Structure 1
Amino acid sequence: MNFLTTGPPSTTGTPPTTEVPSTAGAPATVAVVGIGADGWSGLTPAARAAIGAAGVLFGGRRQLAMVPAELPVDRIAWPSPMLPALPDLLATHADRRICVLASGDPMWFGVGARIADLLGPDRLTVYPHPSSISLACARLGWAVERTTVVSAVGRRLDRVRRALHPGRNLLVLSADAGTPAALAAVFTEAGFGASELTVLESVGGPDEGRVTGVAAGWAHPPGAALNLVGVRVAAAPETRVLSTVPGLPDDAFQHDGALTKREARALALSRLAPLPGELLWDVGAGSGSVAVEWMRTDPSCRAVAVESRPDRADRIEANAGALGVPDLVVVRGAAPAVLADLPRPDAVFVGGGVTVSGLVDAAWAALPAGGRLVAHAVTIEGERVLTEQAARRGGDLTRLGVERAGPLGGFTGWRPARPLVQWAAVKRAAPA
């Protein structure tokens, strides 16, 4: 399992840091040419010249077929999966002039950004083509900067659930011809069946097509495999619309009682302070509510939920899918033992198990300077552990008491919830 694999870059924020393989022996420079559905005829003279000067041409089979057959260049189709093989492919052909074909704009959901990560931006020359996203917005009359983009290519379609907000314009990059119907089903199941879907097929090409319908009544048969879907998001009157601000209602999650309650969860996330691209460990995750809400704050935020009970781990996965963050990684095992194999976190939440010997110490040790740790306790024994940690490491102790109104005979009275103690601390750099 690769904990550092992430989704595509979001329309806002910075992409997450990824592990970069060695590129020893990689080529000095690489040309990256964006090509659209209009093929060779849509390329600029400079882009055509870059392809003509290459000794080896990488690309998808569809893209390679767009290059005139008489052009004397060795063509190599991408293997599947492509990204893990990329460093070796570049190194193997390092003594040749390499050109890479990419769909549309190579730096927008494209291989160009990955090559830049591997080689550095000074070692590639990019010849962009209008992206399918720009072309789709032009067809639909949408402002690109006000359009949310979600990719379903190689990813679970549940990712769109995070973006379900009435009035939003959403573009979904389809995996295949079946994506529009699957997308319509997701919208309908989530209570957004009134959303209008427009399927743009082979956009920019000579056989461009367009089909429009409503999600709840979607009956169009599958069309071209190369398509993307524009959605004007609309909700039924009774649909609950969930914010991305932390503090979702408790009943938004499946749980068996092992849930960080709404008020405590919002307080914890305010101290965990998620930033784009950062990684959270949610240890003793229960229902995974903190990890889910961490990831909902920004599309590039990542989380690992650690849970020893299989039934709860299953619920975490279900909650992550239902709330639009299916990329949440669930690690089934007992902490602190399983923590040693996880990538280094930017923040750690310990919602259960603070009294387990060595758990809080292991979580603290894993943090870099500037990392944040938040831990909760509802027992006297847990409170003692957190008090001792605060005395050793600093930070803040907070005691949270919440009372909710409820029936009391024929009247209404206050019902106090079990008090909770929170320790929140930021790890400081060791003195020089």
Structure 2
Amino acid sequence: MPPLASALPSTTPDSKPRAATRWLTVVGLGEDGFSGLGEQAREAISTADVLVGGERHLALASNDAASGAERHAWPSPMLPFLDVVAGWRGRNVVVLASGDPLLYGVAATLAALIDRDEILVLPAVSSVQLACAAMLWPVNRTAVVSACGRPVETLALELFDGARIVLLSADGGTPAKAAELLVGHGYGPSRVTVLERLGGASARALPFRADEVGGRSFDALNVVAIDAVAGPDAGLLSRAPGLPDDAYENDGQITRREIRALTLARLVPIPGALLWDIGGGSGSIGIEWMRAAPGARAIALEPRADRAARARGNAARLGVPGLDVREAAAPDGLAGLPRPDAVFFGGGATADKAIEIAWAALKPGGRLVANAVTLETEQLLFTARAAYGGDLVRLQATYADPVGRMTGWRPAMPVTQYAVTKLS
């Protein structure tokens, strides 16, 4: 039986399926190597003209039938070599990978370079499946985080009391870094199980509390299973917009949580979408945009170096270290940026032509939101509404504060919010 969708020929509307001419096969391997593969994967390796993979993968796939194949170990850096692989079209090429090559694996990268009709993916059992089996955790209720080529700080995004997380390690030092992060976020009592060499004869499970791991190093081939337990000092941080103001280091340049929640609702974060956060300040809008939707991206412009550094620190601590903070101001800082799906002006709206430039760059269907606390900025928003349409809303929050020995209501400055969707 052909394996899943990777073996299906593509079609176009009103056309018959066209025959696939596949020259590239991506084979997922387990620790049992060639002997553990299915018939189709063994045949692909045995008839390959070229075998590509890590040194470990090439050793695992070793067999007499493939002894005549040309072998290439991935160089470092790896990505430029993918263009070399793409240039071997017409030869019978097999790329070797761990487990499921489409789970944070090389097959996804190759699929962006090569037409799907030319690629066949033959996955093995993934390390996530093996880890969940070892822990008896339902896969569909387990979060997956990769530290392979990615900052371990993304782990913070998945933390809550009772969370079950499988962390894909980059090396033997990843478990200690993860444990340090857990302790730093108040999750020191969490149960951390380091699973080494899953699927092989030398597999073993090493259980610890997060605050017991210390500086230990482990086998380079490991996966970390985390059963999160919140300590008394752990903060409860939702993925929903409106985090507490004290979740951010700031110098007062921050959109308050009530206004922030309403602003994000207007910006409509969706998976993979790009936000321009102009006047980033503490980074709160860009950070909560990225937290709210998987794969959401944000570029924050903040001209002050101290605030830009603070925004980067906030982003890393809150699980979205990929926030792209640039020490620049509108309008000059907007030049050359990729087209956004949404734009937020927390500052910078009074810069010459900044709103017009952002509107021109915004994709169709994109959202532009701007908050104003000064009459000068408010006037610009009235002008923008006359030009582009949209809504103007006056927002004000009032907070209970001490008045002598009593308590009274103290209003914050009102915020005029402009929101518009670009129709075409």
Match of 2:162 among 148, 160, 167: 167
Identity %: 49
**Cα displacement (A) at 1:212:** 0.2
> How far is 1:314 from its partner?
0.3
User: What CA distance in whole angstroms lies between the structure 2 residues aligned with 1:345 and 1:96?
Assistant: 40
Structure 2 partner of 1:307: 302
Q: After superposition, give the CA deviation of every residue in 1:397-431 in whole Å (9 maximum; x if it has no partner).
A: 011111001111221100000011010000011xx
Alignment counterpart, residue 279 of structure 2, candidates 263, 276, 284:
284
In structure 2, what is the Cα distance between the partners aligned to 1:388 and 1:219?
58
What residue in structure 2 maps to residue 275 of structure 1? 270
Matched, 1:424 2:419: yes
Name whichever of 371-380 and 78-87 sits farther off.
Answer: 78-87
Check 1:181–1:345 CA distance in 2 against 1; reply closer, same or farther (3 A cut).
Answer: same
In 1, distance between residues paired with 2:357 and 2:23? 44
Cα contact 1:116–1:123 (8 A) shared by 2: no
1:85 CA drift (Å):
3.0
Match of 1:256 among 251, 269, 275: 251
1:3-402 correspondence to structure 2 within 5 Å: 28-68=22-62, 70=64, 71-91=67-87, 93-219=88-214, 221-402=216-397
1:408 maps to a residue whose letter is: V
Distance between the aligned counterparts of 1:219 and 1:251, measured in 2?
A: 28
Q: Measure how far apart 1:122 and its partner are.
A: 2.1
In 1, Cα distance between equivalents of 2:287 and 2:84:
35
* C-alpha distance in 2 between matches for 1:190 and 1:407: 31
- Output the amino acid matched with 2:224: V
Asked whether the equivalents of residues 278 and 329 of structure 2 are also in contact (C-alpha less than 8 Å), the reply is no
User: What displacement does 1:64 show?
Assistant: 0.7
Is the partner of 1:391 in helix, strand or coil? helix
Q: Give distance in 2, aligned partners of 1:421 and 1:119.
A: 49
Q: Give the equivalent residue in structure 2 for 1:20.
A: none
**Structure 1 residue runs of 4+, over 6 Å off?**
none
Q: Secondary structure at the match of 1:118?
A: coil
Aligned partners of 1:28 and 1:94 also within 8 Å: no
Deviations 1:63-84 (A, max 9, x none): 0111226421111111222234
| Residue identity matched to 2:83 | P
- Structure 2: distance between partners of 1:68 and 1:108: 24
Superposed displacement of residue 28, structure 1: 5.0
Instruction: Give the SS at the match of 1:211.
Output: strand
- Conserved 8 A contact 1:281-1:347: yes
For 2:400, which of 390, 405, 408 is the aligned residue?
405
TM-score (norm: length of structure 1): 0.91
The answer as to whether partners of 2:34 and 2:63 remain within 8 angstroms in 1 is no
Paired residues of 2:54 and 2:96 also in contact (CA < 8 A) = yes
Deviation at 1:121, TM superposition (A): 2.4
Partner Cα separation in structure 1 for residue 372 and residue 238 of structure 2: 27
Between the two proteins, the alignment pairs up a number of residues equal to: 402
